[in-house]
Amino acid sequence: MMDIPASVTQLLRHAIEEDLGHGDITSSVIIPEESEARALFIAKGNFILAGFPFAQLVFHLLDPTVACKTFQAEGAKVRRGDVLGEVSGKTRLLLAGERTSLNILQRLSGIATLTSRFVEAVSGTGTRILDTRKTTPCHRFMEKYAVRMGGGVNHRFGLYDGILIKDNHIEAVGGIRQAISLAKAGHHLAKIEVEVENLKDLEEALAVRPDIIMLDNMTIQDMAEAVKIAAGKVVLEASGNVSLDNVRQIAETGVDMISVGALTHSVTAADISLKIVQ
């Protein structure tokens, strides 16, 4: 099993407590305490699989003796009807972990699937698809993991591991040059990225040489012009209102990266069921 941070383990404990409360009253009155069963995770659609390590952990937190098997690799393309994995153990415990494990597996598989569509849409351009910090609170580790399973690349994980100067930073200190100069003086290890909204701001940013420039909500025409102006001097990232309808056009301007908030904030969960079998 992958190395899962303690914070994620604790999150899953809370998720189990949220659903289970003081006990599953349905199973307690219907299922004999000694009953054991085997249950299969079954795909009910076509998608990219992501999240089994977390789904398995749900059951192991309920009972370390629950046996878990996976039949498909993380990041694999699965088809409707495919058996993805199985869990076996006390029937009551399998039912207690069913919904929490499925909620996580379905959402992460949905993120991986949407990410793969964006990656496929820009195939051959050399442009990378990045995620953002627009994640479900406390689920960022899992959701960014799902992005990687879909072929995407993680942007900074949080505010602590990358300098990204945005419009509010620029407004607060009085300008792009001032913001970049302060960042360079204050931190010599992290790469510096700055957000610009037009070609004039791009020229101003280039003069003080940040490592990355984010082209925020620019038109396709302006992004193409920005690539010409930058001439490979800095890495260019496009961001803002990116969709499957326009991502190919954006990539063809020549930008190096495209960040897509929708990968994690506007995803449709994959359809997966857990079925007890004899």
13-39 pLDDT, tens digit per residue, is 999 999 999 999 999 999 999 999 999
Q: How far apart are CA 159 and CA 193, in angstroms?
A: 12
205-251 pLDDT, tens digit per residue, is 999 999 999 999 999 999 999 999 999 999 999 999 999 999 999 99
Amino acid 1: pLDDT? 58
CATH 3.20.20.70 positions along the chain are 120-265
Amino acid 274: pLDDT? 98
Residue 278 has pLDDT above 80, yes or no: no
Q: Which fold has domain 6-118+267-277?
A: Aldehyde Oxidoreductase; domain 3 (3.90.1170)
Q: How far apart are CA 134 and CA 238, in angstroms?
A: 16
Q: Active-site residues: which are they?
A: 99, 134, 166, 195, 216
Amino acid 39: pLDDT? 98
* Domain 120-265, CATH class in plain words: alpha beta
Amino acid 190: pLDDT? 85
Tell me the three state secondary structure of residue 238. Answer: strand
Place 92 in a pLDDT band, splitting at 50, 70 and 90: very high
**Residue 259 phi, psi (nearest 5):** -95, 140
The CA-based dihedral angle spanning residues 129, 132, 136, 137, taken in that order and rounded to the nearest 10 degrees: 150
Amino acid 114: pLDDT? 98
Amino acid 189: pLDDT? 79
CATH 3.90.1170.20 positions along the chain are 6-118+267-277
Place 2 in a pLDDT band, splitting at 50, 70 and 90: confident
pTM of the full structure: 0.95
